[in-house]
Chain A
Amino acid sequence: MTIERYSFQERVIHWTAGLTYIYLLLTGLAFYSPTMWWIAGMLGGGPVIRYWHPVAGLAFVATVLWMYKAWRRDMRLSDLDRKWAKGIVDYVSHQDHKLPPVGKYNGGQKQFFWVMFYGALALLASGMILWWTEAIPWSLRWVRFAAVLLHVAAFLVTVAGFIVHVYMGTVVVKGGLTAMTSGKVTKEWAHHHHPLWK
């Protein structure tokens, strides 16, 4: 018996966010480090990725904003989540039974959501400045400098979240990936991972 965890719309948005983020990550890595510049070649060359990176960024931010609108209630952090977070070591070592029961999203998922949300906002703000560097007057050049740092910092924070998210969703929690592809989970899976989810 399966129940719907993610609607079709939610899945489309998620995968749009996922794919744009991956594109941004790959192109961003090319910009980030010369050792990764080979990615630029695979994706059409430097000028091409320079052109599409900010455009993809806008798409990514749009999906994040949609998710914010749709999921922000579900993602509100509660006392329960804080309690859950204290048992993170148990969670990591698969001692899930020691943890308090969670709802549709556990504390980790919620935190990941907010990391990605604020990260996206920071990337958007700094990215716009980097996109239109020449529009920032020389007298306000500290804005350019701040943007450079913010973009890199936000990138690193989101990429950390992203690694955890992908690892958890695909490898650690079986069924997580199918939940996001088919939208359905088994009742048992729901009960096991999200007992308070109604």
Chain B
Amino acid sequence: MAGSTLELKRISAVSTAPPGVRETTVVSKYIDTTSCIGCKACEVACQQWNDLPPEVTVQFGTYQTLPDMTPSFWNLIRFEETEVDGAQAWLMRKDQCMHCADPGCLAACPAPSAIVQYVNGIVDFNQEHCIGCGYCMTGCPFNVPKLNKTTSKVYKCTLCVDRVSVGLEPACIKACPTGCLQFGSKPQMLHLAEQRVARLKENGFANAMVYDPPGVGGTGVVTVVAHGDRLASYGLPRDPSIPLAVTLWKKPLKWLGNLGMIAGVVVAGLHYLKFGSKPEPEAKEPEK
């Protein structure tokens, strides 16, 4: 996380309300998978802006750079060869942090201030406060955060918060040659996406859709897909939400547990006040 001038909206594991009075627009990326050509300019732009070293890769039988994102590779174009209604299709999607409005990583994080959500919707990791526990990796419904084993810190796309907070677009957006990536306010991006989907439907893509899953409160990445009936081909979960385990743990179990522990101590105290210690056995004269 770079020092940001934005106000905080939510802070992980801090119970007081975040300070702030200004209204800020919620920002969003727009990814149109139907005009992405998989050029990977965003992959390299991301690494260069964020000073991330190149990964040593091997050809593993695909155009895709790596099987998955890594702690120093936050933006991966996923390629999938498939057939749709008998016609060849080569689907490409830019995979990265989705910047959920209701972020599972943040919900799961035990370290105060390690994960924050700014008022503009950006979900950011603060490695200074990260303890490397990896709970965010369990909490994220998109399998995004990646642990660097050397530094024991977790990393992911920052939505270039350092650029955005000074009025620039994220590096990936800047690098995109076809305009399949756009950046702006969430309503603007949704509008753009809806227009594009309408055009796709008109062109015969009956299942075209805007991917902005409500299960996580919507995402800071609005994705247009032509084949909404085949989300798995794009590597997108159908109805992502914060995992039930994380919700259970962070809400009822924590509440019950706190109650239980306090009750345990209180009951012990009351017991002592009422009954005291067990009576001592009477001392007998030691036998000779």
Establish whether A and B are touching in the complex (CB under 8 Å): yes
**How many interface residues does A have (CB within 8 Å)?**
49
Assess whether A134 is in contact with B131, with CB atoms less than 8 Å apart: no
A-chain residues with CB within 8 Å of residue B249 when the two chains form the complex? 148-149, 152
- Known contacts: A92-B271, A174-B278. The answer to whether A188 contacts B283 by CB under 8 A is yes
User: Can you name the residue of chain B whose Cβ is closest to the Cβ of A162?
Assistant: B264
Whether A123 sits at the interface, judged by CB under 8 Å, is no
Closest to A166 in B: B268
List B144-199 residues whose CB lies under 8 Å from chain A: 146-147, 152
> Which residue on B lies nearest to A190, using beta carbons?
B281
| Complex CA–CA separation, A36 to B253 (angstroms) | 16
Q: Give Cα A50 to B249, complex, Å.
A: 19
Q: Is B57 an interface residue (CB 8 A)?
A: no
Choice from A34, A35, A133 contacting B137 with Cβ under 8 Å? A133
Residue B279 lies at the interface, judged by CB distance under 8 Å to chain A: yes
Cα-based distance from A192 to B277 in the complex (angstroms): 14
CB contact list, B19-60 vs A, under 8 A: none
* A173 / chain B contacts, CB cutoff of 8 Å: 277-278
Are A163 and B147 neighbours in the complex by a CB distance under 8 Å?
Answer: no
Q: Bound state CA distance, A153 and B134, in angstroms? A: 19
Q: In the docked arrangement, what's the CA distance between A193 and B278, Å?
A: 10
The answer to the question of B133 belonging to the interface, with a C-beta cut-off of 8 Å to chain A, is: yes
Q: Is A191 interfacial (CB-CB < 8 Å)?
A: yes
> Interface readout for A88-104 with B: 1 if CB under 8 Å, 0 if not?
00001110100000000
Bound Cα distance A186, B286 (Å): 10
B245 interfacial contact with A, CB 8 Å: yes
B82 interfacial contact with A, CB 8 Å: no
Contact (Cβ within 8 A) B257 A171: no
B62 within 8 A of A: no
Q: Does chain A have a CB within 8 A of B243?
A: yes
Question: Does A77 sit at the interface, judged by CB under 8 A?
Answer: no
Residues in A neighbouring B243, C-beta threshold 8 A? 141, 145
Give the residues in chain A near B152, CB-CB below 8 Å: 47, 50-51
A159-192 to B contact mask, C-beta < 8 Å, 1/0: 1100110010001111100000000001111011
Tell me how far the C-beta of A67 lies from the nearest C-beta in chain B, rounded to whole angstroms. Answer: 23
Q: Are A134 and B137 neighbours in the complex by a CB distance under 8 Å?
A: yes
Contact B268–A167 (Cβ < 8 Å): yes
Q: Does chain A have a CB within 8 A of B246?
A: yes
Interchain CB contact under 8 A, A35 and B15:
yes
Instruction: From A37, A49, A133, A191, name the one whose CB has the most chain B CB atoms within 10 angstroms.
Output: A133
Q: Which residues of A contact B134 (CB under 8 A)?
A: 130, 133-134
Q: Does B87 contact A (CB under 8 A)?
A: no
Q: A31-B133, A134-B137, A145-B244 are in contact. Are A171 and B264 (CB under 8 A)?
A: no
12 contacts between A and B (CB under 8 A): A30-B110, A33-B258, A51-B152, A134-B137, A148-B249, A149-B248, A156-B257, A159-B257, A159-B264, A172-B272, A172-B278, A174-B280
Q: Could you list 19 further interchain pairs (A-B, Cβ under 8 angstroms) beyond the known A167-B271, A188-B283?
A: A32-B110, A46-B130, A94-B275, A94-B276, A130-B134, A134-B137, A145-B138, A148-B108, A163-B261, A163-B268, A167-B268, A167-B272, A171-B268, A171-B272, A174-B277, A188-B282, A189-B281, A192-B281, A193-B281
List residues of chain A with CB under 8 Å of any chain B CB: 1, 30-35, 37, 46-47, 49-51, 92-94, 96, 130, 133-134, 138, 141, 144-149, 152-153, 155-156, 159-160, 163-164, 167, 171-175, 186-189, 191-193
